[in-house]
Amino acid sequence: MNHPLRLGRDLALLACAAALAACGCSPAGPPSGGSWEAARRRMVERQLEARGVRDGRVLAAMGRVPRQEFVPERYREWAYEDGPLPIGRGQTISQPYLVAVMTEAVGPRRGQRVLEVGTGSGYQTAVLAELAGEVYTVELLPELAAAAAARLARLGYRNVHVQAGDGYLGWPEEGPFDAVVVTCRVGEVPGPLLEQLRPGGRMVLPVGEAGEMQMLRVLTKGSDGGREVRDLLPVRFVPLRRAGDAGGK
């Protein structure tokens, strides 16, 4: 896959959303002339299918999850735009395309257990929950973890388990996992997460150094503990921070 990352457009969208919200100009209702359902259909067709996402289960899940519920009310008009949006504390909700690509890369199935590192708003969590058996998600910032847990429960996701903690360490008590999704940049694959990945399982994560573009990679763990690595596309994610780091995740 070779899809250019539209950083300029993403940054412009963030700036536009912030400016409109600051002046009280952004409506909280669905996009003009349509419904949230119609906006989701357009998102799936134009942002996902048109750019190479092929897994029908992933496309259907993306068409079901109400992304507008996972962004601050003042940004809801842009919920189905092709870009990230702020969710507070310097964090963002990823653009829909990247959520779909990462989900397709690990291919969660019913009956499987998935670990997510970096809950954020819970949007990626919800997409995984539509497809997997159980989803365990870890968020460093307690306020984001609590808000995501309440939101996911309100939306009816009963197969999600949220924990506030150090995502680098994963959730060893609940492992091993069939898939691991890391939604924040790492310099290298965290050893604890690799240990918690079941042989034959897949991990998707953005790898790169601070201040640089990262590479979104898929790692498949062999039965002998070895790994097969495949690069997907260049991305830019917020860094994974550890417990005790200034500023949190």
Question: Each residue of 148-169: b (16+ CB within 10 Å) or e?
Answer: bbebbeeeebebbbbbbebbbb
pLDDT band of 33, cuts 50, 70, 90? low
Task: Give residue-wise pLDDT tens across range 178-199.
Answer: 999 999 999 999 999 999 999 9
Token code pair at residue 33: 């002339």
Residue 31 pLDDT greater than 80, yes or no: no
Question: Each residue of 74-108: b (16+ CB within 10 Å) or e?
Answer: bbbbbbbbbbbbbbeeebbbbbbbbbbbbbbbbbb
Domain architecture of the chain: domains with CATH: 8-235 (3.40.50.150)
Contact, 213 vs 234, CB < 8 A? Answer: yes
pLDDT band of 41, cuts 50, 70, 90? very high
pLDDT, position 72: 95
- In this structure, what are the phi and psi dihedrals at residue 98, rounded to the nearest 5 degrees? -70, -35
Contact, 112 vs 133, CB < 8 A? Answer: yes
Which residue do the tokens 């896959």 mark?
A: 1
CA distance 53 to 1: 10
Contact, 212 vs 220, CB < 8 A? Answer: no
pLDDT, position 90: 84
| Distance separating the N- and C-terminal Cα atoms of the chain | 29
Task: Give residue-wise pLDDT tens across range 46-99.
Answer: 999 999 999 999 999 999 999 999 999 999 999 999 999 999 888 899 999 999
Give the catalytic positions in this structure. Answer: 94
